[in-house]
Structure 1
Amino acid sequence: MTYGAGCDISLPEFSSSRLLEKFIQEKFPKLSAPPEGALSLIFINCPGSRVFTDPRSGSRKCLDQVKLTLDFAADLTKTTHEKAEDIVVLSPSAAHCEAIGHMRKKRPEYTASLINVPESSTIDGYQGRENDIVIVAMGTSEFAGPLFTSNGNRLKVMFTRQRCGLVIVGELKAVGLSKKGGLDAVVKTHDAEGNMIYTRAGALRRVYKALKDEGRIVDVTIERKRQKRLATYSGNTKMWM
């Protein structure tokens, strides 16, 4: 495929992509670089993520991934001096967006560094809009499954909101990628009441498989503190190569 001159990532309008990639390579030095002259997204895999279900509404949220996402965004702005307004955090779930907003307001480490970051939005709510760097907090897990992200139309929106860089935070096992079977294999998950359900997430599986083959997936440790699971991306890491 041949791209026009306006797609040259050395142009000033793609400065955010270069800052993001430099930041990522410094944090995860074993991560494979994207092809020369091209941009490539990164997937931050959070094995063992816990998704909590509201007993009244049935809505779900993953505080492990919320914290890791905000840590990543805050560190990115501090380290690269990237304009906070050029970063946006999205999520497929409205409940997850609410959790992101709540944690941003309640924790001082995010209040200052992310004050100019736009309010988080759902994938559907961000249609027709873009930003330089998009960080997507999937809110998925092996137990909960792919949830809304098995919807192909929602994925198309999710993967086209960034001008310069896309970072996805989630769990690979949500789509059963590590298990045997084709890319369209059935995934066993659980609904809000804990009942087993069956779904397919072929489109998302293909994306994850491609990223794994390209070495653009990094595992992060979810550490327990005060009997709670808290995510950190600055601790032990394991690379998918």
Structure 2
Amino acid sequence: AEAVSSGGSKSNAAEAEVAVAVVAALLRAGMAAADIGVITPYVAQVQVLTDGLQRWGDARGVGVEAVEVKSVDGYQGREKEVIVFSCVRANPQGQVGFLEDWRRLNVALTRARCSLLVVGNLATLADAGCPNWAAWVQHVRSKGLVLQ
């Protein structure tokens, strides 16, 4: 479930755990940490993701510092081979906040050179009342690209 920090930024610890597990799987498969980027719309989630990756790396003696974790706004103009995008928002109202802005959505979904892995609450994204997200959800479902 999403949470709000004292500064008003949002985070989602459960989703961060999944995103960290995805990055861990990529690293175990031999991908270089420098080729992986993690993007999220909220600064609070950047911190949760960074902390989670560091804990995972420390527990295994694996360097994860080269995995770049940034906000969507901080990733403009940058690319990585693989991008893991943590959407954060998960609520029954379908509120997606920053993700309604098509420019941010464009940045988030176009930073990967090779593979984009989106970690998010599909029901929230599908019900967001945002035509861009609705179209994206319909597309990934139609292609069988949704893992649960």
1:83 is displaced (CA, Å) by: 1.0
**Gapped runs of 5+ residues in structure 1?**
1-49, 178-186, 188-199, 220-241
1:116 is displaced (CA, Å) by: 4.1
Matched residue of 1:164: which SS?
strand
Matched residue of 2:81: which SS?
strand
1:95 counterpart = 2:35: no
| Total equivalences in the alignment | 145
Give 1:1-241 correspondences, 5 Å limit.
Answer: 50-54=1-5, 56-78=6-28, 80-105=29-54, 107=55, 109-111=56-58, 112-143=61-92, 145-177=95-127, 187=128, 200-219=129-148
Structure with the larger helix share: 2
Distance in 1 between residues matched to 2:64 and 2:125, nearest whole Å = 34
Distance in 2 between residues matched to 1:92 and 1:114, nearest whole Å = 25
Q: Is the 8 A contact 2:4 2:11 kept in 1?
A: yes
TM-score (norm 1): 0.56
Q: Measured at CA, do residues 114 and 138 of structure 1 come closer, stay the same or move farther in structure 2, by a change above 3 Å?
A: farther
**Gapped runs of 5+ residues in structure 2?**
none
Distance in 1 between residues matched to 2:31 and 2:51, nearest whole Å = 23
Distance in 1 between residues matched to 2:30 and 2:113, nearest whole Å = 18
Q: Is the 8 A contact 1:74 1:113 kept in 2?
A: no
The Cα offsets for residues 63-82 of structure 1, whole Å up to 9 and x where unpaired, read as 0010110111112211x211
Distance in 2 between residues matched to 1:76 and 1:135, nearest whole Å = 10
Amino-acid identity (%): 22
Q: Is the 8 A contact 1:142 1:176 kept in 2?
A: no
In structure 2, what residue type is equivalent to 1:110?
G
Q: Is the 8 A contact 1:140 1:171 kept in 2?
A: yes
1:114 is displaced (CA, Å) by: 5.0
The alignment's C-alpha RMSD in Å is 1.7
The structure whose Rg is larger is 1
The Cα offsets for residues 85-119 of structure 1, whole Å up to 9 and x where unpaired, read as 101111011111011112223x2x33343524333
Distance in 1 between residues matched to 2:125 and 2:32, nearest whole Å = 34
Distance in 2 between residues matched to 1:60 and 1:173, nearest whole Å = 18
Question: Where does structure 1 differ by over 6 angstroms across 4 or more consecutive aligned residues?
Answer: none
